[in-house]
């Protein structure tokens, strides 16, 4: 497959864009890479370090095996007929600060609120993330602030792409360890990286989205969002250190057993941010299955 992707890249890109793609393809298939992964016992709280990546997949096990066997690869490389707004890359949720997984899930299972301070041409627009079950509390505060003229809200993108407390759209997400120098070399090639000039980015964006993207990447906030990465070409599955599962999978012993059999050196955790099957010391699966 490596040769196929390289040939596609040479036909599609040029200049610095081609260099970025070819470099990540070569890194992707580099041999003898050892990734040190976080280790957890059953029942421990998962802690996410700044820069950790999370990527959700649709269905239950529909795309699981393909991802494990092939890695995370931009859809245009495997199906050129599909065209995304951000192209030839793989989307990742990029953890902004050190935090516990349970706090991350609580925050991004909430809402994005955008409000205006003042009215008319001189007004200022601000976006904030509202944690799960804090909507009423936050909007009451806004309504009592005379400087705020209007506000509106929407569900976070995470509720559509990774397991969350408010939706069952996604049941499986992978947690990727990006601490190694190997990983850092690959994630440098991020379409959101402001070090890349406008011309280099053209081949990675739909032409209709291109002008808006150039503006968004310089003033990223909670609504655009400021926590996305798009890694050129993709990332290998060897970076996976854990699997986050939704409630449906958490209560399915057979599915958990299958996931663990495919990723024996990885932990599995739930929406409470707790490890239900560790990679350091594991006990019976049934211990953490809700009755």
Q: Measured between alpha carbons, how far is residue 227 from residues 14, 18, 104, 149 in Å?
A: 28, 26, 12, 27
**Does a structural domain hold residue 114?**
yes
Q: Which domain holds residue 143?
A: 110-155
* 82 and 224 co-located in one domain: yes
In tens digits, the chain (291 residues) has pLDDT values of: 999 999 999 999 999 999 999 999 999 999 989 899 999 999 999 999 999 999 999 988 889 999 999 999 999 999 988 889 999 999 999 999 999 999 999 999 999 999 999 988 888 989 999 999 998 898 899 999 989 999 998 989 999 999 999 989 899 999 999 999 999 999 999 999 999 999 999 999 999 999 999 998 888 888 888 999 999 999 999 999 999 999 999 999 999 999 999 999 999 999 999 999 999 865 444 444 443
| Confidence (pTM) | 0.91
pLDDT of residue 218: 86
**Does a structural domain hold residue 286?**
no
* Pairwise CA distance, residues 156 & 54, whole Å: 15
* 199 and 274 co-located in one domain: yes
pLDDT of residue 289: 47
Q: State how many domains the chain has.
A: 2
* 128 and 208 co-located in one domain: no
pLDDT of residue 284: 46
* Pairwise CA distance, residues 183 & 195, whole Å: 18
* 118 and 178 co-located in one domain: no
* 230 and 167 co-located in one domain: yes
Strand partners for 173: 56, 244
pLDDT of residue 290: 45
């Amino acid at each position: 497959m490596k040769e196929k992707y390289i040939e596609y890249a040479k036909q599609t890109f040029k200049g610095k864009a081609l260099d970025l793609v070819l470099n990540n393809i070569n890194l992707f298939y580099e041999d003898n890479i050892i990734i040190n992964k976080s280790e957890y016992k059953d029942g421990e709280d998962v802690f996410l370090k700044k820069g950790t990546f999370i990527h959700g997949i649709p269905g239950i096990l529909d795309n699981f095996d393909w991802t494990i066997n092939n890695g995370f690869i931009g859809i245009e490389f495997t199906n050129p007929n599909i065209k995304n707004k951000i192209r030839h890359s793989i989307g990742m949720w990029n953890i902004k600060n050190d935090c516990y997984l349970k706090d991350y899930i609580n925050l991004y299972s909430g809402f994005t609120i955008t409000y205006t301070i003042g009215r008319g041409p001189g007004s200022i627009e601000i976006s904030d993330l509202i944690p799960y079950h804090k909507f009423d509390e936050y909007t009451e505060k806004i309504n009592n602030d005379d400087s705020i003229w209007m506000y509106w809200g929407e569900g976070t993108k995470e509720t559509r792409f990774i397991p969350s407390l408010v939706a069952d759209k996604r049941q499986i997400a992978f947690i990727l360890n990006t601490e190694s120098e190997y990983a850092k070399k690959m994630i440098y090639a991020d379409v959101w990286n402001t070090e890349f000039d406008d011309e280099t980015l053209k081949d990675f964006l739909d032409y209709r989205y291109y002008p808006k993207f150039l503006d968004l990447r310089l003033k990223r906030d909670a609504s655009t969002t400021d926590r996305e990465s798009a890694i050129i070409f993709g990332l290998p599955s060897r970076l996976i250190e854990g699997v986050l599962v939704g409630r449906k999978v958490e209560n399915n012993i057979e599915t958990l057993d299958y996931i663990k059999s495919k990723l024996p050196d990885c932990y599995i955790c739930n929406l409470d941010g707790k490890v239900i099957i560790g990679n350091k010391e594991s006990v019976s699966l049934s211990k953490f299955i809700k009755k």
